[in-house]
């Protein structure tokens, strides 16, 4: 794709720092509203952590984010992403979990079919699955509207406070007492306790564990770990299907390419390989940006798609920010617990225990997930700077569904890994990178014995690589952990959860703002709406 080489103007209505998927979403919405928008990306390609890149020449895969699940249907429709080439293929089963000794359990898109499979493990759990599936989807539906609007404003005063209370009542007026209790349980309770209460089979519990939030801190027995089940049952895809997940044809980079094309069609300029050194602030107001080469570009407003720590502790002069705000931003928990391994293969690997008649969709997914107790131990080991011997590994072979990624007969595999530490107790990630990759391959080979001999090329991304290459502070893919103290009105900090910041005219539009991480487009959408609202009211 041809990139704009240089900005055409010296002043814009809005400048967006970072061309990740949320930055591009905000860009497209603002340009669609008639603003002159410039988006600047420090890497030579746009997309942030939502990109398709080569492992070896001619062999591409989604390097970082790797599966579409929560991309907001509103964003897909408003920005006409299908018109710009976005095509997704829904997965079925949603998850395939390896339990060891050739045993596999699958979570099918049809709840009745999933229950039928679970019945071979436990009749009681099959009935419980249908009940839990209905309850979880109902609770997720209550949360859905909050994803495309600002969270409740805890700092509101006067009439604004009354209006915020009315908005909350409107959203939850249909909640019954039992549902309120369930919602509180999910926001504060642990996944392990929830699953132990409802299910008896270890395999079924591990299947639910595999459908929790990837990249989140803490094991399944820690408070707040149950909320991931609700996040994964939000609506996504073209048809707003609850719990949707699917392959993106062309890899995840096709999402950001479609967003960029939509934004450009509305007049936005998007420039790659142009890092921003700082956000210029004068008299308490954002006035534009200073590029790494020293040039300045002016703007009425600036939106940062960088995470809160990078934005406020690196890009903004500390002297213009309140001390308590800087302290709160510095305290945001990052220390990303995840890594990636991308493989180019000579052919599709063989999986022990997989049915011979499995179709391409089924063969494209494979998760190696520990028991609840083992997962908790892994998280505890990583917390103290060690790499656990047994890892949680989610494997996707997208080339089985998407033949655009590699030559015929070849295969691409991308693997998401957790729990690993950002800061190692001994040694460095640069020293341990390849040994770490070898360990991952060995663990997968327990279930895919021929995998090692099929590898033509590999690229491993440690938490340190995620920070250095993709600008994710401490390698955190969510721009800050997803737990109750850093969600909704607490994100990034309680006094500034409305995308605005202490600097007038400076907004957060990335995953560090509500509703958080994942390829949703929601933070970008919501930040753009806030900018347009403030312009209309003469604020900022």
Q: What integer pLDDT is reported at residue 3 of this predicted model?
A: 45
> Mean of the pLDDT values across residues 396-404?
97
Q: Which residue has the higher pLDDT, 523 or 483?
A: 523
* Nearest partner of 335 among 424, 417, 440, 416, judged by Cα: 424
What single DSSP character describes residue 2?
P
CATH number of 11-49+75-86+249-332+484-537: 3.50.50.60
> Which of 227, 244, 204 lies closest to 94, judged by CA?
244
Reported as a single tens digit per residue, the pLDDT across 60-95 is 999 999 988 889 999 999 999 999 999 999 999 999
Tens digit of each residue's pLDDT (9 = 90 or more) over 170-221: 666 666 667 777 777 777 889 999 999 999 999 999 999 998 877 788 899 9
pLDDT of residue 172: 64
Q: What pLDDT is recorded for position 129? A: 96
Q: Quick check: 168 pLDDT over 70?
A: no
Cα(190)–Cα(198) distance, integer angstroms:
13
540, pLDDT greater than 60: no
Q: Give the Cα separation of 329 and 99 in Å (integer).
A: 41
pLDDT for the residue 307: 97
List residues bridging with 17 in a β-sheet: 40, 304
Give the pLDDT mean for 315-338: 95
For 270, the enclosing helix (H) or strand (E) is: strand 269-271
The answer to whether residue 4 scores a pLDDT higher than 80 is no
For residue 207, give every residue at least 6 positions away whose Cβ sits within 8 Å of its Cβ, in sequence order, or none. Answer: 95, 97, 105, 107
Confirm whether pTM is higher than 0.85: yes
CA distances from 374 to 365, 441, 531 (A): 22, 19, 46
Nearest CA-CA partner of 365 in 113, 114, 129, 107: 107
Neighbours of 105 (CB within 10 A): 21
Mean pLDDT of 56-62: 98
Strand 276-282 relative to strand 411-418, pairing = unpaired
- Residue 403 — pLDDT band, cuts 50, 70, 90? very high
Rounded CA-CA distance 209/198 in Å is 13
The mean pLDDT of 401-428, rounded to a whole number, is: 97
At 260 the pLDDT is 98
For the chain, domain boundaries: 11-49+75-86+249-332+484-537, 95-244, 335-470
Q: Is the pLDDT of residue 162 over 70?
A: no
List pLDDT tens digits, range 240-296: 778 788 999 999 999 999 999 999 999 999 999 999 999 999 999 999 999 999 999
């Amino acid at each position: 794709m041809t990139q704009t080489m240089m900005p055409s103007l010296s002043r814009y209505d809005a400048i967006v720092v970072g061309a990740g998927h949320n930055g591009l979403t905000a860009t497209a919405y603002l340009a669609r509203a008639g603003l002159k928008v410039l988006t600047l990306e420090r890497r030579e390609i746009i997309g942030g952590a939502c990109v398709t890149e080569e492992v070896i020449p001619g062999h591409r895969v989604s390097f970082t984010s790797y599966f579409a699940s929560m991309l907001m249907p509103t964003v897909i429709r408003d920005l006409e992403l299908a018109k710009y080439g976005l095509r997704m293929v829904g997965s079925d089963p949603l998850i395939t979990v390896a339990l060891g000794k050739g045993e596999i359990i699958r979570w099918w898109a049809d709840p009745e079919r999933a229950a039928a499979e679970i019945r071979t493990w436990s009749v009681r759990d099959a009935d419980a699955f249908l009940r839990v599936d209905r309850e979880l989807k109902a609770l997720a539906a209550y949360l859905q509207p909050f994803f495309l609007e600002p969270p409740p404003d805890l700092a509101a005063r006067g009439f604004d406070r009354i209006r915020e209370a009315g908005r909350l009542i409107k959203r939850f007026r249909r909640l019954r007492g039992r549902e309120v209790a369930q919602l509180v349980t999910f926001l504060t309770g642990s996944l392990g306790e929830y699953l132990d209460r409802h299910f008896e089979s270890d395999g079924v519990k591990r299947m639910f564990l595999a459908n929790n939030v990837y990249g989140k801190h803490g094991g399944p027995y820690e408070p707040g770990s149950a909320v991931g089940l609700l996040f994964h049952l939000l609506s996504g895809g073209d048809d707003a299907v609850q719990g949707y997940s699917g392959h993106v044809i062309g890899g995840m980079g096709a999402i950001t390419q479609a967003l960029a094309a939509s934004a450009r069609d509305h007049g936005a300029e998007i420039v790659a390989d142009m890092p921003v050194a700082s956000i210029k602030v004068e008299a308490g107001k954002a006035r534009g940006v200073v590029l790494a080469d020293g040039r300045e570009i002016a703007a009425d407003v600036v939106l940062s798609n960088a995470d809160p720590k990078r934005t406020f502790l690196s890009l903004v002069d500390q002297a213009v920010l309140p001390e308590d705000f800087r302290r709160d931003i510095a305290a945001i928990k990052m220390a990303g617990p995840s890594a990636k391994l991308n493989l180019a293969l000579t052919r599709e690997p063989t999986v022990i225990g997989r049915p011979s008649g499995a179709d391409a969709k089924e063969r494209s997914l494979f998760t190696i997930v520990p028991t609840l107790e083992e997962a908790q131990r892994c998280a505890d080991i990583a917390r103290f700077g060690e790499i656990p011997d047994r890892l949680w590994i989610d494997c996707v072979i997208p080339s089985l569904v998407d033949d655009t990624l590699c030559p015929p007969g070849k295969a691409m595999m991308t693997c998401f890994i957790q729990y690993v530490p950002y800061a190692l107790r001994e040694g460095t990630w640069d020293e341990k990178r390849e040994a770490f990759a070898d360990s991952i391959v060995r663990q997968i080979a327990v279930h895919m014995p021929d995998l090692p001999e099929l590898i033509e090329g590999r690229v491993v991304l440690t938490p340190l690589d995620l920070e250095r290459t993709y600008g994710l502070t401490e390698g955190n893919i969510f721009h800050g952990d997803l737990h109750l103290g850093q969600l909704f009105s607490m994100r990034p900090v309680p006094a500034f959860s409305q995308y605005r910041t202490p600097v007038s005219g400076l907004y957060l539009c990335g995953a560090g703002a509500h509703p958080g991480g994942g390829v949703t487009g929601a933070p970008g959408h919501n930040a753009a709406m806030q900018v347009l609202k403030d312009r209309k009211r003469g604020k900022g």
